[in-house]
Amino acid sequence: MIKKINYLFISLLGIGGLSKIPGSIASLVTTIFLFFLFHLLKISPNIILVFVIIVFFISLYSVNIYIKNLDDKDPKVIVIDEFIGQSIPICLYEIAHEGPKEISEILTFYFIMFILFRIFDITKPYPVNYYDKNFKNSFGVIMDDVCAGLYVVGVLVLYMVFTS
């Protein structure tokens, strides 16, 4: 029972078990889920950010348990890292832009954040690739996506600086 719960957690309720592009699907589901939480349920971005931080720490343990006896230390079934990485720019965007916004602006920025995160997660520029190559444990699995999410934040900050 515990193994099943752990699998559901690290695979984002089974999304990681999909045969085609599980990471991209997990990122897209995360983006839609966060839009729902922020704009339909009106949950505070600070509460969601705390939740993401808690998920990060639980993931460090859960992923280690899952990969302990595997040769592949970053199997495709693990997509909780995509949830964490995709959540970082969206949460920080919502915190920085709290208050009323046009739905078209929100959807545009969410789409851009999704695309940028997937680009950085797939291409793995430094230091994303550093964590991916040098840490064959849960820390490496998760931190490459955290770095990809922070790259998205950096790009958006630069965009906002240059356009303001």
pLDDT, tens digit, 9 for 90 and up, residues 138-150: 999 999 999 999 9
Whether the full predicted model's pTM is greater than 0.75, yes or no, is: yes
Mean pLDDT of 18-44: 96
Q: What is the C-alpha to C-alpha distance for residues 154 and 41, in angstroms, rounded to an integer?
A: 28
Distance in angstroms (rounded) separating the CA atoms of residues 41 and 35: 9
Question: Is the pLDDT assigned to residue 10 strictly greater than 80?
Answer: yes
Q: What pLDDT, on the 0 to 100 scale, is given for residue 75?
A: 84
Predicted confidence (pLDDT) at residue 129 exceeds the cutoff of 90: no
Identify the sign of the CA torsion 94, 98, 100, 101.
negative
Rounded CA separation 88/73 (Å): 23
128 pLDDT exceeds 90?
no
User: Structure tokens of 15?
Assistant: 């999304």
10, two tokens? 């690290």
With beta carbons less than 8 A apart as the criterion, state whether 113 and 105 touch. Answer: no
Cβ pair 49, 107 in contact under 8 A: no
Cα angle vertex 144, ends 143, 150, to 5°?
A: 85
Question: DSSP code of 4?
Answer: H
CA 97, 92, 29, 152 dihedral sign is positive
